[in-house]
Copies of this chain bind each other. A is one copy, B any other.
Amino acid sequence: MTVTLDDERLDAVFAALADRTRRDIVARLSEGEATLTELAAPYEMTLQAVSQHVGVLERCGLVSRGRHRQTRPCRLEPLALATAGSWIEESRRAWTERMDRLEAHLTDLQDDR
């Protein structure tokens, strides 16, 4: 279930998530598809700025877009999200396992006394 990506892609995905407007867009897309104009509505910034944010999400694979009449609906791509999550979990797992071994070792030492 672990998905591995090259460094370049991980760079891009984490960089994309390092902006609260883009995280907000991702969160909203996790509730369903939306057009650019719908996505832009809640923000004070221009439509162009939101379009650029969506562009960042698209380029790193977090979002894909279709075509429907004049609109280009955005949808979340959970695979890219999963790869970032997997990377984090892997580091956390290694750290936790090491701590568990350390604790077990200390308990052994205590038992020996």
Contacts and interface: CB of A to CB of B under 8 A. Distances in A.
Interface of A: 7, 10-12, 14-15, 17-20, 23, 26-27, 29-32, 76, 78, 81-82, 84-85, 87-92, 94-96, 98
Given A12-B18, A30-B92, 5 more contacts: A10-B20, A15-B18, A23-B87, A30-B98, A84-B88
Contact of A95 (B10, B76, B90, B92): B76
A95 B30 contact: yes
11 contacts: A11-B18, A14-B15, A14-B23, A15-B15, A17-B88, A27-B90, A78-B96, A81-B91, A84-B88, A85-B85, A85-B92
